[in-house]
Amino acid sequence: MSLFMKISLFVIVILILVYFIPNPKKHFRELYKGNDDIADKLERFRKYPLKSIKKDGRTWQYIDTGNGGETILFLHGMGGAYDIWFQQIEALKKDFRIISVTYSAVNSLEEMAAGITGILDAEGIDKVHVVGSSLGGYIAQFLLKNHGDRLEKIVLSNTFPPNTLFRRQNEGLGRIISWLPEWLLMRTFRENLKAKVVPASGDNPLVEAYLLEHDYGLMSKKQFIGRFHCVMQYFEPLSSGNHPVLIIESDNDPLVPKVLHDSLKMLYPHAQVHTFPDQGHFPYLSAPDEYTQWLYKFLGGDRLHEKKAISGVIENYYFKGRKAGDVELLKKAFVEDAMLITVENGKEKAATLRQYLNMVSDKGPVTCTTTLLAVDLEGDIGIAKTKFDYSPVIYYDYLVMEKRGDQWKIARKYYVKKEAR
């Protein structure tokens, strides 16, 4: 073998060894320089069990937690996973069901949408509120265009509209990204984080440690490249139509140019807009309490809380009181001047609360099946529909609820008696 061949072979071996240098791995605790309480909360959150589905040969992981009649779908950005939203999820899960996804290593928005809707199908969820940040906000807009019937309210956070700017700016990287060794790709990403993203967040230790941990091994090269291709992909945008939209932005976002922030607001001219001062690209990490408050308010958390309060009064006082013949429990369900009204043969028949309680006291406990059929409210007035099944007789109640002080009470009860079929 000639000297040239030996040198060439040696160089090739060195290049191969350099290419396959493993990307170093570091844990969040090693990287985090802030309050231990935050690290403890993240570690506890990561102990929650994950679910997974297979879609087109790819595995999709997600968390399904919380309770409530409405569901929030959280979609993260290029860097991160399902748990980047841990502070919002912990705060909102008492009022909402929550799905938070980690993207599989797919390379197009169509594949992203297929995986995400596949999760919703697997969980039997027809409609969701979607909260998407950065790439997640871009995916949310793609879902709006192609699966808009499955979305209710939409939060677009630190994100951008369909555009060709990113593709033009990253054309060179797009040609070579697949050939770069993983360690070099992740090191370049880390340097960008340290130089731009972390300073813009006010050097927030959670932003720094969480994102660096993903660059140090939690995010694979395939996942990174797939997310990169999704950011570069263009699609024709669709305005929000009848979907309420909240745009959340920061005035010093280092990753989304102002021209794209402005274009996003032009695309959704009826959207609510909240601008965080000096919070960078990840305000849900650097200003979690204020961020969560905006989500709670926009997604109707106050309304859901009040509906739960109404349901509690009906189930704990009205239903239980009537079944047990407990007058004291029933008093907690009604205002003192409540009226109970029905119509027979075209004539209204009304009774006072005192007359109703005397009747309950005389009859005592009853055996029946109770069902809360519906609850709605506007301001301090609520409406509920209930069913008392005594078989063969069924009573349907339409309850007018009033919020007096901080307590919901039944002010009027309209009822209908029917024979079971």
Predicted model pTM: 0.81
Nearest CA to 214 out of 86, 87, 79, 84 is that of 79
Given a cut of 50, is residue 10 above it in pLDDT?
A: no
Q: In the prediction, which pLDDT does 182 show?
A: 79
pLDDT classification of 171: cutoffs 50, 70, 90: confident
CATH architecture designation of domain 306-419: Roll (3.10)
- Which pLDDT score is estimated for 11? 47
**Extents of the domains making up the chain:** 24-299, 306-419
Q: Is 3 exposed, middle or buried (0-12, 13-18, 19+ CB in 10 A)?
A: exposed
Average pLDDT (116-136) is 98
For residue range 334-375, list pLDDT tens digits in order. 999 999 999 988 899 999 999 999 999 999 999 999 999 999
pLDDT score for 101: 98
- What pLDDT band is residue 5 in, cutting at 50, 70 and 90? low
Distance CA 226, CA 240 (A): 26
What confidence category does residue 15 fall into, taking pLDDT thresholds of 50, 70 and 90?
A: very low
Range in 3-7, 59-63, 192-196, 417-421 the model is least confident about: 3-7
Give the model's confidence band at 121: pLDDT under 50 very low, under 70 low, under 90 confident, else very high: very high
Q: What is the CATH number of domain 24-299?
A: 3.40.50.1820
Q: In the prediction, which pLDDT does 7 show?
A: 57
Q: What is the mean pLDDT of the chain?
A: 91
